Structure 1
Amino acid sequence: MRNNRRLRWAAVPIAATLTLVLAGCTQAQLNGFLPGFIEGESPATNHTERVSGLWVTSWIVLLVVGVITWGLTIWAVIAYRRRKGQTGLPVQLRYNMPIEVFYTIVPLILVLGFFAFTARDQAEIEKRFTADEVDVKVEVIAKQWAWDFNYVNEDVYSPGIQAQLDPNGPAGSVDQAALPTLYLPVGANVELELESRDVIHSFWVVDFLYKKDMYPGKTNYMSFVPEREGTYAGKCAELCGEYHSLMLFNVEVVSQAEYDDYIQSLRDAGQEGQLSNEYDRNQNLPGTGAPELKEEHEAE
């Protein structure tokens, strides 16, 4: 009985301390110190909290497993250490079925749990809007080492160049005004068509907590809702050549009125229509022209 009482009295201050610590956590701390969160404001996109929730929950589970494992390891080292005067080996135990079942079943449950929650969240994140639900559709074309943006519904485009060093800034700083910039209206259902013009790239907006590879000859998609206005840094996350580090861009999430003004500015600049695959470096794909060459050799 005394032991139970002592445990209860010990649990009270521990629980109170945990409550105070958790209550004092900022939004960034509660979301695992991941980018994409600002205190008192909406997350960057409708998927941001889902990603951070999976991350934080995984770390909590793994931390508990780690504490238990290390605790048992240290306890075994101390409890079963060689005492003074002892010689030889301790009694060897084999085929302890309960323990073997335990350390087989528990990891299996953890792996299945991680798989189930990851599959659930990935299915939601990868879910595409239907054609009627899409408000803004943008074709993102990656190229060594920059980005082009086709605003499909508005039939305008914005070509980009690789990052340029800022001569007036600190050494190594980038001229932000010269970066390719993708404009999106806040609260809109956005679908991005991701394509590559040459090699494998990866579209990554850091605060969105999500990235997706871009393969030549294949179109990938991202569907999301930007929920907070602001400027978000983006980059290529797949090593793609000599100037990979300069393949940067920005995403500007703005009001609908500002978005409309930007689209109009592209029209005023004569950037109407869509950028095509005219400059695709992979036009001569394997097999092109092979049948004609084969027939010529057979005729000879």
Structure 2
Amino acid sequence: MRLLERFVVRKDHRSTWAAVPVAMLLIAVLAGCSQQQLDGFMPGERGTTDKGDLMMTFWVNSWIILLVVGLITWGLLIWAAVVYRRRRNDTGLPKQMRYHQPMEVFFTVVPIILVAGFFAFTARDQAIVEQNFAADQASAVAGQEVRDVHIEVYGKQWAWDFNYLDVAGSPYDGGVYTQGIQAQEERDENDRLTGEIEYEKLPVLMLPVGANVTLDLKSRDVAHSFWVPDFHYKEDTIPGKTNQYSFVPEREGVYIGKCAELCGEYHSMMLFEVHVVSEAEYNEYIQSLRDAGNVGAVGDEGNRNDNLPGTEAPDFSEHDESK
């Protein structure tokens, strides 16, 4: 009995010491993670927009839960393969079981809980992200009036148009617009394409930092998708339909945008830039468009699908030579 007690004590003692280096290794690995790794390798930084962090947190937490489920699943598979492997002296088939009710209940209930949980959190965060500002209603943060900005975004093969619409409290009247072209490749001294993009020629979406921005997302021809990776947001632009997205850009900088829906031969060249600037710079940009004569908006009248020929047969009665 004493020998057994010594063995048990010694075994527990060894297990404790074995757990110490494992814990230290785990701490070192977690401490060595970069901020990008802690953010689930999502593009951009936290604090870029008011809604981007919400989506990044949901992404990271989802991966943590899925990794835990994966580790448990892999562990059970390896354990079953090792413990119940066929031994050298085994003959015949192992004992067969028709079912194991507790295990079946476990494998049914746990997936239902996981799916229901993911659905609930997805619906909650999506409702927050899709909540739009009232375009004609001023907002206040910390006792200060926040500027409202309303912009129509048109996707087209293979570029972007932006209409800066007039809103209450705007320093300009009537709105202004820009019409973009698809990305252009640089050429070398022998006039050969280098594969590099001339970024200064990309369409630019200008936004004032800290403003309540509402985007009306539309298409002039086929289905596109408005995507700014650093904003952690993507929304389709569908012909004949308007999708809206409201957010607050919180960090000044230049962010690349692109089309995320295969839309034809030059889909990969359908790029644009988002410039988040101070309000003074934003006002100067709007004034520069007014000075250039880009006053008003190029709306649905510029859509390709609204300018196609009809299906009715043409009337040639006026050119009938028999008359």
TM-score by shorter chain over 0.5: yes
Q: CA deviation at 1:43?
A: 2.4
- Aligned pairs for 1:5-24 (under 5 A) are 10-11=18-19, 13-24=21-32
> Which of the numbers 235, 245, 266 marks the counterpart of 2:258?
235
SS at match of 1:94: coil
Q: CA deviation at 1:168?
A: 4.7
Q: CA distance change for structure 1 residues 74 and 148 in 2, over 3 Å: closer, same or farther? A: same
Q: How many residues align?
A: 286
TM-score, normalised to structure 1, is 0.88
- Partners of 2:15 and 2:213 in 1: CA distance: 54
Match of 1:297 in 2: none
Q: Report whether the alignment pairs 1:64 with 2:68.
A: yes
Question: What is the identity, as a one-letter code, of the residue corresponding to 2:164?
Answer: Y
Is 2-11 or 79-88 further displaced after alignment?
Answer: 2-11
Q: CA deviation at 1:275?
A: 0.9
Q: CA deviation at 1:159?
A: 1.0
Q: CA deviation at 1:171?
A: 1.6
> Which of the numbers 255, 274, 277 marks the counterpart of 1:251?
274
SS at match of 2:57: helix
Question: What is the identity, as a one-letter code, of the residue corresponding to 1:166?
Answer: E
Which entry has the higher C-alpha Rg, 1 or 2? Answer: 2
Q: Report whether the alignment pairs 1:28 with 2:30.
A: no
- Partners of 1:276 and 1:237 in 2: CA distance: 23
- Aligned pairs for 1:1-300 (under 5 A) are 2=9, 10-11=18-19, 13-37=21-45, 43-131=47-135, 132=137, 133=139, 135-153=148-166, 154=172, 155-168=175-188, 171-283=194-306
Residues 185, 256 of structure 1: 8 Å contact kept: yes
- Partners of 1:88 and 1:24 in 2: CA distance: 51
Residues 36, 43 of structure 1: 8 Å contact kept: no
Question: What is the identity, as a one-letter code, of the residue corresponding to 1:253?
Answer: V
- Partners of 1:21 and 1:116 in 2: CA distance: 32
- Name the one with the larger strand percent: 2
Q: CA deviation at 1:129?
A: 1.1
Residues 163, 248 of structure 1: 8 Å contact kept: yes
Is 98-107 or 79-88 further displaced after alignment?
Answer: 79-88
- Taking only aligned residues, the RMSD between alpha carbons, in angstroms, comes to 2.3
Residues 148, 158 of structure 1: 8 Å contact kept: yes
1:120-146: per-residue Cα shift (whole Å, max 9, x none)?
A: 111110111123146111100111111
Q: CA deviation at 1:5?
A: 6.0
5+ long unaligned stretches in structure 1 = 294-300
